[in-house]
Chain A
Amino acid sequence: MSRTTPNGFVLEETSRRVAIDPITRIEGHLRIELNVDDKNVIRNAVSVGAMWRGLEVILQGRDPRDAWAFVQRICGVCTGVHAIASVRSVEDALGIELPQNANLIRNIMMLTLYAQDHLVHFYHLHALDWVDVLSALRASPVETAALAQSISSWSKSSAGYFKDVQTKLTNFVGSGQLGPFRNGYWGHAAYKLPPEANLMAVAHYLEALDFQREIVKIHAILGGKNPHPHWLVGGVPCAINVHGTGAVGALNIERLNMVREIANRTREFIDQVYIPDLLAIASFYKDWAAIGGGLSSKNLMSYGEFPSHANNSSNDNLGMPRGAILGGDLSRLHEVDLKDPAQVQEFASHAWYKYPSGNEGLHPWDGVTECDFRLGSKGKIEQDRLINVDESEKYSYVKAPRYKGEAMEVGPLARLVIAYVAGRKDIKELVDGALRKLDVPLTALFSTLGRTAARGLEAQWAAARLVETVDDLFANIRNGDINTANTEKWEPKTWPTLAKGVGSCEAPRGALGHWIVIRDQKIANYQCVVPSTWNASSRDPKGNIGAYEAALLGTPMVDPERPLEVLRTIHSFDPCLACATHLYGPDGAPLASVDVL
């Protein structure tokens, strides 16, 4: 029996049901259930967010200036994004103007994260979906070197270097302890790379693992540590002192030089390693430019990011513009207003929460939620093991956020397409250049491969902008501005009795919003709607499905018991489930009886 959802996807509950749990190489806990037909094509997909932590209720009654530290702990992978959304929400509520140095330093922090997070996602969370590690053992180091040198001027590309990597890999595999590569899908028919491309990618997997820690040193310099650097409402904590005595206690010329040096090396690594690898690997998987599109060819959204000047929320001031595309109409960008109660709403009809208003959607300022874990009538738990959920009822800890009632896809692909449609020259050149190299049309972007390519292109854009933004910081200091914090409204006694604010940011994974209500100098309500809530969304009362579920439909699998194809598409979203699962909850829930060992 099949049915068509209001947003245009055909679901068919075939008799064969497969569960994949845990989905690994993501942040947090995600389960995917599928129905496949007799040709192993996916006909129904169910995305189950499998954790719930309750942070928003913990925030109630606390000092709004502390909120960034709490919400930053929503996610340690995209570290900083919740902190920046939080300080922006407080600044919006209280009308605090930001010094330009603080604006630039925050942009530097975010661009650094884009570069590092996208790089780690590509090599360490996603590459093993495309790269067969064991095939690399059969590669010719000489031919690998020829391949590497044909696509990049990166210095580590001699035959001797690849021979060395291959020897290490051979001995590692020979030890019998495969560690993270144990039980991988090696030899799967869906792997298409020649051994030489596999060896090159394995070498860069290891190089990127070492290099990623260099990138985030920028966070350590400007925020004290990474993961989880420190932030400040009204500015940034690192004072600037480049001229006077005692400058070692602040951001001085030595520290600024270090930031610049790391930014330059980051750009070099992404330009010379990540992008050539991405294009080389993509060229063997062009069939994936027609798989996994889901919502991407219909509904995309971005809140916009990287304000060039402080305290200017206009779209022209943003490096990545704000906007939404509906119904695949690329000729029109819709306005996004996070304060409009009719635009962003969350539904909980199919999520493990209770709504006092039943199936109605709620704007985040009015958001209320209460945990309600129960399976539907067809769901099954046997001996404390979840066998299957019932997606016709409640089935996930991820709610269903909607923009004007529509399910949306967010993330690097959405940002690039929206910037492209908005006519941004820099993005247009970047995207058109890659499409030309791969010899595929613009519509190829709306796919699993497109999502993965967009992330790489955005990393390249971010690294270039990082270098420019460091220059901007130097220039602003040279012009005599050394201010980093505005403390006019630091003291709670200067605040109104009631204030409401929204802070948004474009996290590496997509559109992120925090809504805060401050009453009597304390947090009265706090709600987050995060990128993976949009993408991993449960179904809404009308039956619209979210981005993960839509993207899996129609995917042909070689063997549903070895679900490599599912991992490709799910990983192309870079899931972050600690973020996605709604965070609000009641106190006093009953304690389970637990065996103590």
Chain B
Amino acid sequence: MADAIDRPPSRIVATTADVIAARGIPRRDFLGFCSVMAMMLGLGPTGWATVARALETKPRIPVLWLHGHECTCCSESFIRSSHPQVSDVVLSMISLDYDDTIMAASGTQAESIVDEIMRDCKGSYILAVEGNVPLANNGWNCIVGGRPFHKVLNETARNARAIISWGTCASFGCVQAAKPNPSQSTPIYKLVKHVPVINVPGCPPIAEVMTGILTYILAFDRLPELDTKLRPRMFYGQRIHDKCYRRAHFDAGQFVESWDDEGARLGYCLYKMGCRGPTTYNACSTIGWNDGLSFPIKSGHGCIGCSEDGFWDRGPFYERLPHLHQFGIESTADKIGLGAVVGLGAAVAVHAAISAIKSVAERSSGKEEDTGHPRSNETDNRS
């Protein structure tokens, strides 16, 4: 038994599909899972065969999951995944060799795993990072295994196949990087070059987005296509507002004006209560949360934009999109909200204007330079 435990992963021959079969999951269920994944990943009606082939021929990828400055909400979200179920991910799809939130070993027994993976799986393991790196006080504001977290990151990043930055902390800095960022918390992509970084923002990200990205890498042996902020386009290509089920009320000029008013009880649009849906790129209004059951707007609260870079400093959250004031959207929305007879065309035009203005505003603000906007590393992704 000890021999089996200590055997380094490089000698492993069991594929993901072998392990799934060995766990007693029927072939029919396995293929069903493949077609669900294929649909989620937008692979079309024959995509299931590609997923199945990939899972049947590849060994489980070792994953080192590190924790820096964070609150562990990403790990908690990850274990909420319903398709695939997290027990299948951890036991059948990846080999989660290090994750200090759930691993059995502590102290030296835990730390030696990092050394073993770096030695035995050079260039083939995935480094998943939850949280960011505080640089103040020479990095001693976050100590892991007796060392500043940035040292641990530097070492483990060097030989990773790719880095997944879980959540807004690792992707953009999140709450501890909000002004004045006292611990100088810094996102991963700013500290690591030459290794592809995938940003998976959200506070936390949706569970099925997290497991979907891992499964994509496994199934297709490549990294997903990323946008200029290094986010997978498949999940971050559209705004919440684009697919919001309350969008018809926005277009019809029906707004919640005050908490628990008649509009709130009728499920009207939350734009006037500060909803950030029109400027937030995420899959909440399509995939939904907790098995697709709801998302913040569906439960009556506006989106706070938690997957956006710097969203904490774009408050107050209950003021409607403040940077749109100068374009006259406010007065238009108010007029519509008063119940004036306004044609649908006008309301749609309002929305089109918000979209156009938003993109112009972002381009003209020069924000890319100011914030050290992530570079695209799409060329790396195919290496």
In the complex, the chain A residue whose C-beta lies closest to that of B157 is A597
Is B9 in the interface zone, CB < 8 Å from A? yes
Q: Once the chains bind, are A225 and B185 in contact (CB under 8 Å)?
A: no
Instruction: List, in ascending order, chain B residues with CB within 8 A of A79's CB.
Output: 73, 76
Complex: A597 Cα to B157 Cα, angstroms: 8
Complex: A28 Cα to B136 Cα, angstroms: 18
Is A503 in the interface zone, CB < 8 Å from B? no
Is A587 in the interface zone, CB < 8 Å from B? yes
- A177 touches which one: B97, B136, B181, B290 (CB < 8 A)? B97
Complex: A165 Cα to B355 Cα, angstroms: 52
Instruction: List, in ascending order, chain B residues with CB within 8 A of A225's CB.
Output: 284, 289-290, 294-296, 299
In the complex, the chain A residue whose C-beta lies closest to that of B273 is A237
- B264 touches which one: A177, A250, A371 (CB < 8 A)? A250
Is A435 in the interface zone, CB < 8 Å from B? no
Given A66-B316, A594-B191, also A226-B70 (CB < 8 A) = no
Instruction: List, in ascending order, chain A residues with CB within 8 A of B339's CB.
Output: none
Given A27-B72, A176-B14, also A55-B91 (CB < 8 A) = no
Of B7, B74, B182, B312, chain A has the most CB atoms within 10 Å of the CB of: B182
Q: Once the chains bind, are A21 and B105 in contact (CB under 8 Å)?
A: no
Of A25, A51, A206, chain B has the most CB atoms within 10 Å of the CB of: A51
Q: How many residues of B contact A (CB 8 A)?
A: 122
Q: Once the chains bind, are B294 and A183 in contact (CB under 8 Å)?
A: no
- B298 touches which one: A206, A224, A586, A587 (CB < 8 A)? A224
Q: Once the chains bind, are B19 and A172 in contact (CB under 8 Å)?
A: yes
Is A350 in the interface zone, CB < 8 Å from B? no
Interface string of A106-149 (1 = CB under 8 A from B): 00000000000000100011001000011001000000000000
- A178 touches which one: B5, B11, B109, B267 (CB < 8 A)? B5
Is B265 in the interface zone, CB < 8 Å from A? yes
- B267 touches which one: A133, A224, A250 (CB < 8 A)? A250
Q: Once the chains bind, are A58 and B182 in contact (CB under 8 Å)?
A: yes
Complex: A57 Cα to B181 Cα, angstroms: 9
- A249 touches which one: B5, B178, B246, B258 (CB < 8 A)? B246
Complex: A134 Cα to B102 Cα, angstroms: 17
Q: Once the chains bind, are B76 and A175 in contact (CB under 8 Å)?
A: no
Q: Once the chains bind, are B294 and A220 in contact (CB under 8 Å)?
A: yes
Given A225-B295, A485-B259, also A213-B104 (CB < 8 A) = no
Is A464 in the interface zone, CB < 8 Å from B? no
Is A1 in the interface zone, CB < 8 Å from B? no
Contacting A at CB under 8 A, from B247-276, are 258-260, 264-268
Q: Once the chains bind, are A76 and B80 in contact (CB under 8 Å)?
A: no
- B294 touches which one: A176, A221, A234, A561 (CB < 8 A)? A221
Q: How many residues of A contact B (CB 8 A)?
A: 127
Instruction: Tell me the minimal C-beta distance from B207 to chain A in angstroms.
Output: 8
In the complex, the chain B residue whose C-beta lies closest to that of A249 is B267
Is A281 in the interface zone, CB < 8 Å from B? no
- B142 touches which one: A29, A77, A167 (CB < 8 A)? A29
In the complex, the chain B residue whose C-beta lies closest to that of A129 is B104
Instruction: List, in ascending order, chain A residues with CB within 8 A of B14's CB.
Output: 174-177
Is A171 in the interface zone, CB < 8 Å from B? yes
Contacting A at CB under 8 A, from B143-162, are 143-148, 150-151, 154, 157-158
Stretch at the interface among B31-39, B45-53, B192-200, B323-331: B192-200
Q: Do most interface residues of chain A lie in helix, strand or loop, or is the interface mixed?
A: loop
Q: Once the chains bind, are B268 and A249 in contact (CB under 8 Å)?
A: yes
Stretch at the interface among B81-89, B360-368, B372-380: B81-89
Is A286 in the interface zone, CB < 8 Å from B? no
- A173 touches which one: B5, B105, B301, B312 (CB < 8 A)? B5
Is B79 in the interface zone, CB < 8 Å from A? yes
Q: Once the chains bind, are B180 and A587 in contact (CB under 8 Å)?
A: yes
Is A422 in the interface zone, CB < 8 Å from B? no
Interface string of A567-588 (1 = CB under 8 A from B): 1000000000010000001111
Instruction: List, in ascending order, chain A residues with CB within 8 A of B18's CB.
Output: 175
In the complex, the chain A residue whose C-beta lies closest to that of B106 is A24
Complex: A412 Cα to B119 Cα, angstroms: 43
Instruction: Tell me the minimal C-beta distance from B118 to chain A in angstroms.
Output: 14
In the complex, the chain B residue whose C-beta lies closest to that of A243 is B265
- B301 touches which one: A19, A182, A232 (CB < 8 A)? A232
Complex: A57 Cα to B306 Cα, angstroms: 20
Stretch at the interface among A87-95, A383-391, A540-548: A383-391
- B259 touches which one: A223, A224, A229, A235 (CB < 8 A)? A235
Complex: A220 Cα to B74 Cα, angstroms: 16
Interface string of A36-69 (1 = CB under 8 A from B): 0000000000001011111101100011011001
Is A238 in the interface zone, CB < 8 Å from B? yes
In the complex, the chain B residue whose C-beta lies closest to that of A170 is B22
Is B359 in the interface zone, CB < 8 Å from A? no
In the complex, the chain B residue whose C-beta lies closest to that of A213 is B80
Is B221 in the interface zone, CB < 8 Å from A? no
Instruction: Tell me the minimal C-beta distance from B113 to chain A in angstroms.
Output: 6
Q: Once the chains bind, are B203 and A228 in contact (CB under 8 Å)?
A: yes
- A250 touches which one: B90, B151, B185, B300 (CB < 8 A)? B300
Complex: A7 Cα to B69 Cα, angstroms: 34
Is A245 in the interface zone, CB < 8 Å from B? yes
- A221 touches which one: B141, B176, B179, B293 (CB < 8 A)? B293
Given A53-B183, A587-B180, also A385-B99 (CB < 8 A) = no
Q: Once the chains bind, are B297 and A224 in contact (CB under 8 Å)?
A: yes
In the complex, the chain A residue whose C-beta lies closest to that of B73 is A76
Complex: A69 Cα to B75 Cα, angstroms: 19
Q: Once the chains bind, are B265 and A250 in contact (CB under 8 Å)?
A: yes
Is A181 in the interface zone, CB < 8 Å from B? yes
Of B104, B110, B179, chain A has the most CB atoms within 10 Å of the CB of: B104
Is A156 in the interface zone, CB < 8 Å from B? no
Is A340 in the interface zone, CB < 8 Å from B? no
Complex: A125 Cα to B44 Cα, angstroms: 40
In the complex, the chain B residue whose C-beta lies closest to that of A484 is B260
Instruction: List, in ascending order, chain A residues with CB within 8 A of B111's CB.
Output: 22
Is B318 in the interface zone, CB < 8 Å from A? yes
Complex: A488 Cα to B118 Cα, angstroms: 59
Is B108 in the interface zone, CB < 8 Å from A? yes
Q: Once the chains bind, are B76 and A124 in contact (CB under 8 Å)?
A: no
Q: Once the chains bind, are A246 and B67 in contact (CB under 8 Å)?
A: no
Interface residues of B (CB under 8 A from A): 1, 4-5, 7, 9, 11-12, 14, 18-19, 22-24, 60, 62, 67, 69-77, 79-82, 85-87, 90-91, 94-97, 99-113, 133-148, 150-151, 154, 157-158, 174-176, 178-185, 191-195, 203-204, 207, 246, 258-260, 264-268, 284, 289-291, 293-301, 304, 306, 312, 315-318
Sample (12) of A-B pairs whose CB atoms are under 8 Å apart: A50-B143, A51-B143, A73-B174, A171-B22, A174-B14, A175-B18, A177-B12, A180-B99, A181-B103, A212-B79, A224-B295, A484-B259
Known A177-B95, A180-B102, A585-B182; 19 more pairs at CB < 8 Å = A25-B100, A53-B134, A54-B181, A57-B182, A58-B175, A128-B104, A133-B104, A175-B14, A177-B14, A180-B99, A180-B104, A222-B299, A228-B73, A246-B267, A484-B260, A487-B259, A589-B137, A592-B150, A597-B192
